[in-house]
Chains A and B, each alone.
Chain A
Amino acid sequence: MINLEIPKKFKPLVSQANQVATEVFRPISRKYDEAEHEYPKELDMLASLIDGMNEGSDIGGAGAAGVRRESSNGDGGNRNGSNLSTVLGIIELCWGDVGLLLSMPRQGLGNSAIASVATEEQLERYGGKWAAMAITEPEAGSDSASIRTTAELDGDEYVLNGEKIFVTSGDRADLIVVWASLDRDKGRAAIKSFIVERDNPGLKLDRLEHKLGIRASDTANFTLQDCRVPKEALLGSPEIDMKAGFGGAMQTFDNTRPLVAAMAIGVTRAALEETRRCLKKAGVTVDDAAPAFGQHAAAARLLEMEADYEAARLLTMQAAWMADNAKPNSLQASMAKAKAGRTCVDVTLGCVELCGSVGYDENGLLEKWARDAKILDIFEGTQQIQLLIVARQLLGKSSSELR
């Protein structure tokens, strides 16, 4: 039965998340944009609250940790589960502030990776901790198969060596999920992820980045030098399965791409709502019944941006809903991420333009959202990587045919 509304049972969660965004995130949004690298201590209390929200319900929470892929959908009926509820929660929180969401303790993408592939034992061991994700290297961004960080088995320990950059929450997290190769000659199949405790002496923080946006979130660069972790710190199987190839490591992304798309949706909606208000003050409103081009150009532009937003939002909900229902969603997850990422950038920049100096100056948040937006079309797979994934799926091409 086709129904694309927010399910009734998630309305309390959405409303809670919206309150958090309104009462906690928005008031400190500008503060931590200016005070880059300062820890938003207001989030500690909030993190406990969100842990409580996650524990207290079977419908998942508002952070990335809630996502765990369904292996089957039980009775075959329609399911609205943790993937969808998490997406909805993230939309609300990022409507508040995406940088602060990324700084939320225990809600990192590393947590999502752990939730996706960890064994029960690992879940127990690392549960309740804050995990960041370290994939990118100076010479390997989108091309994550070519990472140079190595992991060598030495007795009961792996020894990690290499350099990692752009680690979101890398300074503040308890754990870093590090991608490294067991055998650089075996290509992507040999890439595994390892959980490294933040206080491991072999993990050295090089510096924190100064950024265009999401400045509330710390972005760390590390060197791993003879960094020793127990054998049990490897996530998933230690076997180098040439057939399964990269699938295992990449599987995480099918789950996390809709979450990043959700972040973009939240920021986009914030900008659209603010712009609607701003234009109304200026005497411009949108008439839904009248054709776009008979209206004020600003109204027509707003309608166009809202239409893109609506498409991106529904694509994102679709991808999450498919994960809840154990339907393969790699294609839809990338479609959602591509559409949401580019829409977020286009819309937030468009909103600044429509609102003029009011949008551009730091008295409001429009300019901040426009700066925050850009990363959402880059991390968790750039626009171009998403288009590549979508194209390979639609055209039935391998990664060697379509590079």
Chain B
Amino acid sequence: MNGNDKGGGIAERSMGFGLRALNRLAGSDLLDRIRVRKQVERALFQGTKQGFRSATAAGRTFKAAQKLGKPARQKPGKPKGLFDITPDDEQQMFQEAVREYAAEKVRPAAQKADADASTPPELLAATNELGINTLGIPEELGGVVGEQAAVGSVLIGEALAHGDMGIAYAALAPGAVATAIGHWGTAEQEATYLPAFAGEDVPAAALAILEPTPLFDPLQLSTKARRKGGEWVLDGTKALVARATDCELFVVAAEAEDLGPALFVIESGAKGLSVEAEPAMGLRPAATGKLILEKVRVPEGALMGEGKREAYVECIHRARIAWCALAVGTAQAVLDYVIPYVNDRTAFGEPISNRQGVAFTVSDIGIETEGMRLTTYRAASLADQGRKFGHEAALARRLCAAKGMKIGSDGVQLLGGHGFVKEHPVERWYRDLRAAGVMEGALLV
């Protein structure tokens, strides 16, 4: 934390991003443990890989604990006076821990997770243990962060995706549901669902917005929610939902009768819900699937954000920032990988990096990655300060979609034929980076 921004006492500071969050991190012996523990081979039946439709997970029963009179909300931070690109101390420590974890555990597991189309459960458990998915939960409901933490989420998403984007998607997807409920949930929804996300056994959950249609526009949804006898009835299909078969809880976007696009909380046990495997070009460790809603009836109280358009639009923007963060981490991974490669690889008697055609491509990867990072940070920082950030989020999105993909493509190109084969991870990054321009919803900051 920098001198000028220092708050009053330690109590006040702990309201911010982090002492309590750090405590949780420090209290966990996870980082030591995962280094010595042998990875358990996963041989679980994976519904998503079977290609036929299956029921959603039975799921636990969520019950409202202590219900608050009105929904608890994380407060926006104070607007900051000075320009600054340094994360505060707590953010840096968090970032360091996740970076280390991503390098030690996530990257080595990435290739197999990609091939298996599933993320090992111990990696998912580890993310939960690090408290990464609690960043959007208000303190009153067991969260560890008092103020909104879009920047913190971006830093963590970036660090995790440097390990692997698909595993990051799988690991961060439940956090998106917690954050959505923390931001736009009713008091009842918060009391019912958030304690589970703040606890040890975090449920698999997904924020399902994207639909299987070309030129998808999150403001023009095909999924409809009709009012019927004090209930909502939903019909439609959602695409590329992370760990769809395992999910115990969904937040689903639908065009609500008389209201417009809105979010609904739906438990996986609801009748009429089913999932279908939807393996894709990339993000394979997230075991993506389609979520199909056929006359799914949910109570009136399932509607979030009072069906307000601003809430929904904010959700769309926050999701795009999250995907930008993953794109930045992956783009950085490409840069870090190609530099030693082009320096070691020789052709015509010298390292290929002695040639401008190769070297300038590396420069461009570096320049555009840094640009992507800064635009993403700016959008997130505005969000945390309670200021408008829709335009900045749109710019970050456009940039990360276009430049992120170019970086993925250049990464493969620099390795030539070696980039095309699975011996090197760049072909996976190529596949994953396309997602930054495709995904809507699913993750949140």
**Once bound together, how far apart are the Cα atoms of A328 and B197, in whole Å?**
43
Q: How far is the CB of A331 from chain B (nearest CB, A)?
A: 8
Q: Tell me if A45 counts as interface (CB < 8 A to partner B).
A: no
- Using a CB-CB cutoff of 8 Å, which residues 294-331 of chain A contact chain B? 294, 303-304, 306-308, 310-312, 314-315, 317-318, 321
B421-439: contact bitstring with A at CB < 8 Å (1 yes, 0 no)? Answer: 0000000000000000000
B354–chain A nearest beta-carbon distance, Å: 6
- Determine whether A339 belongs to the interface, using a CB cutoff of 8 Å to chain B: yes
Verify B353–A321 contact, CB threshold 8 A: no
Interface of chain B: mostly helix, strand, loop or mixed: helix
Flag whether B164 is at the interface (Cβ < 8 A): no
Which B residues touch A8, using CB under 8 A?
81-82
Stretch from B61-69, B116-124, B242-250, B361-369 contacting the other chain: B361-369
- Bound complex: CA A360 to CA B7 (Å): 53
Say yes or no: is B254 at the interface (Cβ < 8 Å to chain A). Answer: no
Chain A proximity mask over B341-365: 1 for CB below 8 Å, otherwise 0: 0110000000101101001101110
Q: Is the CB of B215 within 8 A of A293?
A: yes
Q: Is B186 an interface residue (CB 8 A)?
A: no
Query: CB of A288 within 8 A of chain B?
Result: yes
Q: Which residues, 406 to 445 on B, are CB-close (under 8 Å) to A? A: 440
- CB distance A314 to B367 under 8 Å? no
Whether a CB of chain A sits under 8 angstroms from the CB of B393 is yes
A80 to B313, CA, bound (A): 34
CA distance A291 to B79 in the complex (A): 29
Interface string of B364-380 (1 = CB under 8 A from A): 10111011101101101
Residues of A within 8 A of B86 (CB): 1-2, 78
Question: Which residues from 141 to 179 on chain A have a C-beta closer than 8 Å to any C-beta of chain B?
Answer: none
**For the complex, what is the distance from the CA of A76 to the CA of B4, rounded to whole Å?**
11
A5/B370 contact (C-beta < 8 A), A78-B4, A289-B219, A318-B85 known: no
From A28-36, A211-219, A387-395, the one touching the partner chain is: A387-395
Residue A12 lies at the interface, judged by CB distance under 8 Å to chain B: no
Question: Does residue B144 face the partner (Cβ distance < 8 Å to A)?
Answer: no
Q: Give complex CA distance A84, B5 in Å.
A: 19
Within 8 A of B (CB), among A29-69: none
Q: Does A363 contact B (CB under 8 A)?
A: no
Q: Across the interface, do B375 and A395 meet the contact criterion of CB distance under 8 Å? A: no
Contact B399 A4 (CB under 8 A): no
Q: Determine which residue in A289, A303, A386 has the highest number of CB atoms from chain B within 10 A of its CB, and name it.
A: A289
Q: Does A185 contact B (CB under 8 A)?
A: no
* Assembly CA distance A370 to B217 (angstroms): 34
Interface string of B48-87 (1 = CB under 8 A from A): 0000000000000000000000000000000111111111
The answer to whether B217 and A290 touch across the interface, beta carbons within 8 angstroms, is yes
How many angstroms from the CA of A8 to the CA of B342 in the assembled complex?
Answer: 44
Asked if B88 lies at the interface with its beta carbon under 8 angstroms from chain A, I say yes
Is the Cβ of A289 less than 8 Å from the Cβ of B313? yes
Check A9 for interface membership: any CB of B closer than 8 A: yes
Q: Is the CB of B83 within 8 A of A3?
A: yes
Q: Do B390 and A311 touch (CB < 8 A)?
A: no
Within the complex, which residue of A291, A307, A387 is in contact with B402, where a contact is CB–CB below 8 Å?
A307
What 0/1 pattern do residues 366 to 403 of A give for CB contact below 8 A with B? 00000000000000000010111011101111000111
Whether A397 lies near B354 (C-beta < 8 A) is: yes
Interface size on B, residues (CB 8 A): 64
Inter-chain CA distance A2–B87, complex, in Å, is: 5
Q: Is the CB of B390 within 8 A of A289?
A: yes
In contact, B396 and A402 (Cβ under 8 angstroms) = no
Q: Chain A: interface secondary structure?
A: helix
Report B-chain residues with C-beta under 8 Å of the C-beta of A304. 398, 402
Q: Which residues of A contact B353 (CB under 8 A)?
A: 391, 395, 397, 402
Residues of A within 8 A of B359 (CB): 387-388, 391-392, 395, 397, 402
Q: A307-B398, A311-B371, A394-B363 are in contact. Are A321 and B217 (CB under 8 A)?
A: no
Query: Quick one: which of B82, B339, B372, B378 contacts A80, CB cutoff 8 A?
Result: B82
Shortest CB distance A92–B (Å): 16
Q: Is the CB of A306 within 8 A of B363?
A: no
Indicate whether A262 reaches chain B with its CB closer than 8 angstroms.
no
A310–B399 touching, CB < 8 Å = yes
Known: A78-B3, A338-B367. A291 touches B85 (CB 8 A): no
Complex contacts, A403 vs chain B, CB 8 Å: 354
A6 interfacial by beta-carbon distance below 8 Å:
yes
Interface: A20 (CB within 8 A): no
Question: Across the interface, do B82 and A3 meet the contact criterion of CB distance under 8 Å?
Answer: yes
Q: Establish whether residues B80 and A338, one from each chain, have CB atoms under 8 Å apart when the complex forms.
A: no
Docked Cα-Cα span, A294 to B316, in Å, equals 15
Partner of A387, one of B217, B364, B382, B396: B364
A395-B339 CB under 8 A given contacts A2-B377, A5-B382, A390-B363:
yes
Write the nearest CB–CB distance from B238 to chain A, whole angstroms: 17
Are B215 and A1 within 8 A (Cβ)?
A: no
Our pick among B80, B218, B219 for the contact of A3 (Cβ within 8 Å) is B80
A201 to B316, CA, bound (A): 68
Contacts of A402 in B (CB 8 A): 353-354, 356, 359
Contact A291 B371 (CB under 8 A): no
Docked complex Cα distance between A60 and B271 (Å)? 67
Q: How far is the CB of A338 from chain B (nearest CB, A)?
A: 6
Residues on A with C-beta less than 8 A from B367 are 315, 335, 338-339, 390
Contact between A3 and B84, CB atoms less than 8 A apart: yes
Please name all residues of chain A whose beta carbon is closer than 8 Å to the beta carbon of B356 when the two chains form the complex: 384, 387-388, 391, 402
A60 to chain B, nearest CB (A): 14
- Contact of A7 with B1 in the complex, beta carbons under 8 Å: no
Q: Would you call B366 and A1 a contact (CB within 8 A)?
A: no
Contacting pair B391 A4 (CB below 8 A): no
Is the pair A78, B82 in contact by a Cβ cutoff of 8 Å? Answer: yes
Q: Is B394 an interface residue (CB 8 A)?
A: yes
> Within 8 Å of chain A (Cβ to Cβ): is B385?
yes
Does B172 interact with chain A (Cβ within 8 Å)? no
A4 touches B82 (CB 8 A): no
* B395 contacts partner chain A, Cβ-Cβ < 8 Å: yes
Q: Is the CB–CB distance between B374 and A318 below 8 Å?
A: yes
A75 on the B face (CB < 8 A): yes
Residues of B within 8 A of A390 (CB): 363, 366-367
* Residue on B nearest A79 in the bound complex, by CB: B82
Nearest A-chain residue to B385, judged by Cβ: A3
Given contacts A291-B217, A387-B360, A391-B359, contact A84 B396 (CB under 8 A): no
New A-B pairs, 4, CB < 8 Å, besides A4-B374, A289-B394, A291-B216? A78-B5, A289-B316, A291-B218, A402-B354
Interface residues of B (CB under 8 A from A): 1-5, 79-88, 91, 151, 215-219, 313, 316-317, 335, 339, 342-343, 351, 353-354, 356, 359-360, 362-364, 366-368, 370-372, 374-375, 377-378, 380-382, 385, 390-396, 398-399, 402-403, 440
24 contacts between A and B (CB under 8 A): A1-B86, A2-B88, A3-B84, A3-B381, A7-B81, A77-B2, A78-B4, A78-B84, A78-B86, A84-B83, A288-B390, A289-B390, A304-B398, A310-B375, A310-B395, A311-B375, A314-B378, A315-B371, A315-B374, A388-B360, A391-B356, A395-B353, A397-B359, A402-B353
Closest 8 pairs (CB-CB, A-B): A311-B371, A77-B3, A3-B80, A314-B374, A391-B359, A288-B394, A390-B363, A4-B378
